[in-house]
Amino acid sequence: MLTKYHIPERWLGHANSHYWSARADRLQSATGILLGMFLLAHLHFESSIMLGKEAFYKVVQVLEGGWFSATGHGYPLLTQLFSVFILLVVILHAAMALRRFPAQLGQWRALRSHLHLIKHRDSHAWFWQLATGFILFFLVPMHLVTMIANPEIGPNMSAYRVWHDNTWLLYILLLPAVVIHAMIGLYRVAVKWGLSFNRTGLRKIAKLLIVYLIVLGLGSLVTYMLLGNELSLPLQPFVPG
């Protein structure tokens, strides 16, 4: 004999809340993938400075539509507009992620206790993504607002900004935080949405990418610092020979 039981709605949750939570999850994943792919491209574009000033100049020329400008230098407005777009995506991604951010001291204590008791790799990965996300909440807007306010990019302009404006202090903190956050995020998205069930292989790829991208970024940063130290003042924009 079957007996019917009435389960209170508050135990089941509201259908609308589940619907919006699912949409927020998809939106968080989509914006995370977009930002992760952008980071991969951005660090490789920046690394062209290690091939010389002219190589970096040509990359900037392509990205800023230099072929379509009368001077051939491109349009800094494109950098400005793209920086605004990325900032909006970052804000949206952060808003979705904050839903699961521990907001109370008790929640942080429970999380720390959980990490100590249960040696679960994905839980530790989530913690590192949480910690780096908190750091990026402050550092990423600083970087993007700087690019929006001063969109001029070039071998000399960028080197001057890094060395003489001391933005290397920002980048030395931003680089490892954003790389770790992004690569762990891409790993978790792949696992969450069933893109791959080989967690061990994905973890190895994520770790290799973290090391590779940090080394690549540090190489670019050191190159900018060396070039900035060698600049003659007052600053003159780079002109290819």
Annotated binding residues: 42, 93, 143, 181
- Name, in order, each residue with C-beta under 8 angstroms of 56's C-beta and a sequence gap of 6 or more: 48, 49, 154, 155, 158
Q: Which of 157, 166, 175 is nearest to 217 (CA)?
A: 175
Burial readout 90-115 (b: 16 or more C-beta within 10 A, e: otherwise) = bebbbebbeeeeeeeeeeeeeeeeee
Tokens 């190589």: give the residue.
Answer: 55
Task: Please give the Cα distance from 11 to 16 (Å, whole number).
Answer: 14
Contact indicator for 202, 49 with CB cutoff of 8 Å: no
Q: How far is CA 11 from the centre of its chain?
A: 37
Known binding residues for heme b are 42, 93, 143, 181
Long-range contacts of 102-106 (CB under 8 A, 24+ apart): 102/130
Tokens of 126: 């989530």
Q: Of 81, 93, 172, whose CA–CA distance to 129 is shortest?
A: 93
Are 93 and 105 in contact by the 8 Å Cβ rule? The answer is: no
DSSP structure class, residue 65: T
